[in-house]
Structure 1
């Protein structure tokens, strides 16, 4: 085994130290948000930056969860995320796989796909289209307008082009048609890419805010991001849903409620990452080289 030189060892130590420092710096904002949400009101008002609260206080979380509406909105968001991700991946895969093969009109379709990356209709035309289709106040208004992300689809097309052709030829010899080939052969070989883009779509649906604010007027159908916005407005003394106005709202500092809201809104989706981590890096890299 070849020994490393002293210079190489020193470089490795310095490199690891620098990377560790950068990793800790990225964690500081998260620790500050978490600590601020758990700190007492007095400590939050007196300290500008908190990493470790001197006294734990769960008043901000009690205020957020004081209404059963939050649980309903959380379940609605989970439903929107799961159903929306399934719709996204079904439509993206069904379009990306044919375009990765030699089909008629492929060039024209790809030009239309790339066109959508460069130009968009804007907010008002999108709203008019959703309204004319009768999708207002329905969850379809959150799913259908962004059912296929053009950039993700292009990467999947390049990924499918890299799959061994021999598998498909063998399956066709055995009598597989195109849908069976996609379901039995292509999708199992594409799990890293599917897991990666499913995560991207899921994060997008979980964080959906402006679309829900624009299309969902019924407060009983609000996802958690809209509801948490109402809670922040009420805690700051603004105009919002009066059902969240309680005595504790005037005792808890608004910044504490905002930090607790950030934790509640981001923690569930962050917990998904460890389960997809083994596919994540591989899925991002695959399909990004071949044009």
Structure 2
């Protein structure tokens, strides 16, 4: 009997339908992005008239020039980079230190269930924006980068993801290291962390995306525009035609090339590029980290 069975007509038809559905979903995700890029490179008339589809009309770089020539853009960019670096480092440190003891059996950590209950409550319920703002204000963190980082210091979902991954590590490795005289810190650093790289890479990607894309924290915690992170800056940035009004022919020509729609599209493209550059380096760990960390023994 042949090792591979021939598919029936029904099976072939089912595969065809599945592929069609997958392709349609992929296009539904991809085409809006292509349209956004095309609009960002189009002139004012085409962008405002909503005649741009998947290719720029009246190609120009006026929107990108308007954004990139501003010193505040680069200032906000470096603030966001600093936030991502500090915030991700703090997130990983706290997530690992919290997930490791929670992954132990109840006879090793008797208060585990109580801490897990507190984590679940914190994940499902929030005190709200006003109490959080008052807390940040009372800690004298307003208008500082720590106001953007500390409220997101412990992502509970990531703690659960890492905890379940630690549970999947064979208990025999822990016991063998303990018999050889390894301390708790040595077991964590030399055994658990090296085998948990997929989960760590996945959590790192989550933390980077969270810190990079967050604009609301900058709106409520930062009072000085020069301290805005990038997402808050581009969210506030608009084309101010009254400031551009001039009899200077060059200024009038620049004004004719710009539109709010093209500017907004350029903002999206500029803010997305750094994540697109980082994702390929972490993508190979992503699926493994999600699957292993989501399975509870």
Normalised by the size of structure 2, how large is the TM-score?
0.89
Partners of 1:3 and 1:123 in 2: CA distance: 60
Which residue of 2 is the match for residue 242 of structure 1? none
Aligned partners of 1:236 and 1:254 also within 8 Å: no
Task: Work out which of the residue numbers 159, 166, 174 in structure 2 matches 1:168.
Answer: 174
Distance 1:11 1:107, change over 3 A: closer
Which residue of 1 is the match for residue 198 of structure 2? 192
Aligned partners of 2:46 and 2:52 also within 8 Å: no
Distance 1:236 1:4, change over 3 A: farther
Distance 1:254 1:190, change over 3 A: same
Partner of 2:274, secondary structure, is helix
Which residue of 2 is the match for residue 71 of structure 1? 74
Task: Work out which of the residue numbers 102, 121, 127 in structure 2 matches 1:121.
Answer: 127
2:190 is equivalent to residue 180 of structure 1 = no
Q: State the Cα deviation string for residues 155-190 of structure 1 (Å, max 9, x = none).
A: 221221111011111111222111111111101111
Partners of 2:127 and 2:22 in 1: CA distance: 43
Shift of 1:6: 4.3
Task: Work out which of the residue numbers 13, 16, 27 in structure 2 matches 1:13.
Answer: 16
Aligned partners of 1:235 and 1:257 also within 8 Å: no
Normalised by the size of structure 1, how large is the TM-score?
0.90
Partner of 2:55, secondary structure, is coil
Task: Work out which of the residue numbers 253, 264, 273 in structure 2 matches 1:258.
Answer: 264
Partners of 1:277 and 1:173 in 2: CA distance: 37
Aligned partners of 2:201 and 2:289 also within 8 Å: yes
Partners of 1:45 and 1:87 in 2: CA distance: 43
Partner of 1:271, secondary structure, is helix
Listed as ranges, the gaps of 5+ residues in structure 2 are: 244-250
Aligned partners of 2:163 and 2:293 also within 8 Å: yes
* Farther-moved stretch of structure 1 (264-273 vs 202-211): 264-273
Q: CA RMSD in A?
A: 2.0
- Aligned length, in residue pairs: 283
Shift of 1:237: 6.7
Partner of 1:145, secondary structure, is helix
Which residue of 2 is the match for residue 269 of structure 1? 275
Distance 1:235 1:36, change over 3 A: farther
Partners of 2:41 and 2:34 in 1: CA distance: 11
